[in-house]
Structure 1
């Protein structure tokens, strides 16, 4: 039993909780620096040649679960450890402190009051009358009172004692929501060109709804740099009936039945060309990372037998499109919808380039708990700022004095300034009532 008590005391130690918070913060930083939930090949390509920090190659990134930090076993274990620490701290310290603050403490002698942080003695001819006057002053200032004969106890700001408990409860709820979202959440990233759709399946493989892209446009600044992306979306049920139409853009997602669709990125999907007198050909584009970070293109044969190919490369739906020969020599440039470029006696014309909308779909069942946890923690933090103040007064008829003492869990200076003002008001009220009492 004693061993369990020591273990609980160690787990609920404040220094341990601060250390866990520091480790969790570092781990969260790793999740921000290292790309998350990519394919294994992506990590090998990125880190095998140049290990991260010179130490971790692709294999170690995957072994340490740094490719999915927030859903990794060790990260969830840290959250569980911190949650247990907060629960034990609340149970062992904050809850008893709240219960103690709700109990009235009865000081029976002036000697006890003199040992408090703040203590004053007011000479008076009528200690009992001044005690009643002090009770009335405190009541007018919304203090809670308990009077027993020649003694008085008062308190204010007890609600502040609830603050730490709410902060701990909010953090625990937040971590439960984050863990639930990491384990049960779904994340899907796709590029969809206008006119294409994506079927969203449940865990049984049954189509729940369909997401269709009606249009997509890229807003650019005068220099041609992307500023904003906008997609017109339609949601259809399993039978093809429309559920909702919405326009999304960066920082303005679509939320529907617990699913959130973000405008995340863009790409180039297809190019429509005409070679000579051929019909219009719509051909898919692929990324060409060897030519640049955002470069797309395709190899286009210029002869019916598939020979003499040229490479079309572009970085924007507005062009220009660079045309390279098989020997990697630049032949010329074409603008979409512009004049054709003659290649080997054949005119090559680009009709249009179709961009694709990069959509990020997320379903996180823990979001309500995360927001609720934040709200509870913020409420608790606000309540924690409320100072809990306590005052005691004893009427000493033998010595002709009113002894007053006080305590405060924070901002003791404010109470130290308030107590003399309170006694000054009491003295003024006593002086005003004394002539009336004498004439009576």
Structure 2
């Protein structure tokens, strides 16, 4: 039993809790700095040549699971350890403190009063009248009173002792919710062109919700830089219920446990007409070799597939740059304007953007939000100081003894005592 008690004391020590919080904070910072959930090759390419801190290359990074910090075994172990430490601390320390605060203590001798943090001695000619005045005054100011054989015990702010317990409970729920969400949550990132949709599967691998992009708009500043992206999406239930809503950056859609974010934008296709052909919708792909935001495709200008040209574009507003096979810029085409390229009439009808949608399903969110509320309530209660006052008298000496203590803001209680004493002296 002694060894178990020592282990529990070690688990619930403040130093261990602070150390765990520091380790978790450093781990979260690493998870923010290091890209998460990328392919193994990504980490080899980026960290083998330039190791993190000069020593952590791609192999070590993957071995230590820094590619998925928040679901790694060691990070979850830290969360479980901290949760256990908080639970042990609550049961072994905070609950007994609360229980002690709820119990009434009866001080029967002046010596006990004298040992308190604040103690005063008052001489009075009519102690019964003075004590009655004090009782009335304390009750008016919200103090709980208990009188035993002429001895008065008063307390105020006992609910403040509940604060630390609620903070511990909230933090434990936060870690449970975060862990549950990390292990059971799903994240899907898709680029959709207007009119396209994606089907989400339920837990039984059957068709669940359908997310359809109705329209997509990019708002740009006078210099042409993207400022905001807006999508109107239709969420269709398997039973046919359709809900339409606009989403934008920082304004997601929440529906039945799924959160849909407006995350990014891209270009999906170019609608083009060559000579007398019908309008052709040609998909375009990113070309990183030409720039960070450059999309393009290669098309032939002859029916036999000869004399290909490269079409590139940097925004949905155009223009479309047309290059020869040797990289020579042949022409820039604006939308809805037909011009000849290599003796072939080409018209760009439209440039179709695509919306980058991020779908997240995190079943731990209700627990996380609940934990925030509990921590806020606990923090607010912790501000309240618990104050206690004891008053007793000696008939033979016509002396009244008054003393008090407080878990915090002792100076505040010392300033209140003169007011009580003034009633005793009258």
TM-score (norm. length: structure 1): 0.93
- Note the C-alpha offset of 1:339: 4.3
Q: Is the 8 A contact 1:130 1:402 kept in 2?
A: no
**In the alignment, which residue of structure 2 is the partner of 1:105?**
105
Q: Which residues in structure 2 correspond to 1:270-289 (within 5 Å)?
A: 270-289=269-288
How many pairs were matched up?
426
**In the alignment, which residue of structure 2 is the partner of 1:355?**
353
2:44 matches 1:44 = yes
Q: Is the 8 A contact 1:295 1:314 kept in 2?
A: yes
**In the alignment, which residue of structure 1 is the partner of 2:384?**
386
Q: Which residues in structure 2 correspond to 1:113-192 (within 5 Å)?
A: 113-192=113-192
**In the alignment, which residue of structure 1 is the partner of 2:311?**
312
Range with greater deviation from structure 2 (352-361 or 282-291):
282-291
Q: Which residues in structure 2 correspond to 1:28-67 (within 5 Å)?
A: 28-67=28-67
CA deviation digits over 1:364-405, x for unaligned, max 9?
A: 111110000000011000000001000001112222211100
Task: Report the 3-state secondary structure (helix = DSSP H, G, I; strand = E; otherwise coil) of the residue aligned with 1:290.
Answer: helix
> C-alpha distance in 2, partners of 1:129/1:364?
65
Task: Report the 3-state secondary structure (helix = DSSP H, G, I; strand = E; otherwise coil) of the residue aligned with 1:260.
Answer: strand
> C-alpha distance in 2, partners of 1:324/1:134?
95
- Note the C-alpha offset of 1:121: 0.9
**In the alignment, which residue of structure 1 is the partner of 2:227?**
227
**In the alignment, which residue of structure 1 is the partner of 2:8?**
8
CA deviation digits over 1:118-172, x for unaligned, max 9?
A: 0111111122332222122112212111111231111000000000000000111
Note closer, same or farther for the CA distance 1:304–1:56 as it changes in structure 2 (3 Å cut). farther
Task: Report the 3-state secondary structure (helix = DSSP H, G, I; strand = E; otherwise coil) of the residue aligned with 1:23.
Answer: helix
> C-alpha distance in 1, partners of 2:270/2:203?
36
**In the alignment, which residue of structure 2 is the partner of 1:303?**
302
Cα RMSD of the aligned pairs, angstroms, is 1.6
Q: Is the 8 A contact 2:331 2:341 kept in 1?
A: no
- Note the C-alpha offset of 1:279: 2.5
Point out where structure 1 has 5 or more consecutive residues left out of the alignment: 431-440
Point out where structure 2 has 5 or more consecutive residues left out of the alignment: none
TM-score (norm. length: structure 2): 0.96
Q: Which residues in structure 2 correspond to 1:243-282 (within 5 Å)?
A: 243-282=242-281
